[in-house]
């Protein structure tokens, strides 16, 4: 399981933008810059609580999302799908502002997306190859 997480984290470390899905009275998606917290297997993101997805989190903290390599070559498809819980997270300031120092001037609200399940598709390992990681109870 640790080898799978190491492979997934290597991919996550090469990227900086995720797509996040939330649900309130409707389903919504947004794109967010992220810093990765490997100690907690979590994304640290900044977003205004007054956005539609921010208002959804007040109703339902369960989220899902993706990080994907953009490619038109089937043999190079690579990305993750994840599900987890999203909550306010001020302890992530150092990590987030190290990755995105320009964001400090906006004084953003920071959030932690604690991933509970990650599925990585890596066609470089064979068509449709999946690596799955789940948080221990």
CA distance 16 to 4: 20
pTM of the model: 0.92
Q: What is the pLDDT of residue 77?
A: 75
- Please name the residues in contact with 80: beta carbons below 8 A apart, sequence gap of 6 or more: 8, 11, 12, 66, 67, 68, 118, 119, 120, 121
Convert the pLDDT of each residue in 52-63 to its tens digit. Answer: 999 999 999 999
pLDDT confidence tier of residue 137, bands split at 50, 70 and 90: confident
Copy the structure tokens of residue 54: 């921010």
Q: What is the pLDDT of residue 18?
A: 98
DSSP string, 6-64: HHHHHHHHT--EEEEEEESSSEEEEEEEEEEETTTTEEEEE--TTSHHHHHHHH--EEE
Mean pLDDT for the stretch of residues 17-40: 96
Which domains are assigned to the chain? Answer: 2-134 (2.30.110.10)
């Amino acid at each position: 399981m640790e080898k799978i997480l190491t492979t997934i984290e290597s991919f996550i470390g090469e990227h900086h933008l995720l797509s996040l899905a939330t649900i309130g009275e409707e389903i919504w998606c947004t794109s967010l810059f992220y810093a990765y917290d490997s100690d907690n297997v979590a994304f640290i993101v900044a977003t205004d609580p007054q956005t539609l997805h921010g208002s959804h989190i007040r109703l339902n903290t369960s989220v899902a999302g993706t990080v994907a390599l953009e490619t038109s070559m089937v043999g190079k498809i690579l990305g993750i799908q994840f599900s987890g819980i999203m909550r306010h997270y001020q302890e992530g300031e150092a990590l987030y502002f190290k990755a995105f120092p320009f964001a400090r001037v906006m004084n953003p609200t920071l959030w932690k997306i604690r991933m509970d399940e990650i599925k990585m598709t890596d066609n470089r390992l064979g068509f449709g190859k999946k690596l799955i990681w789940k948080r221990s109870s």
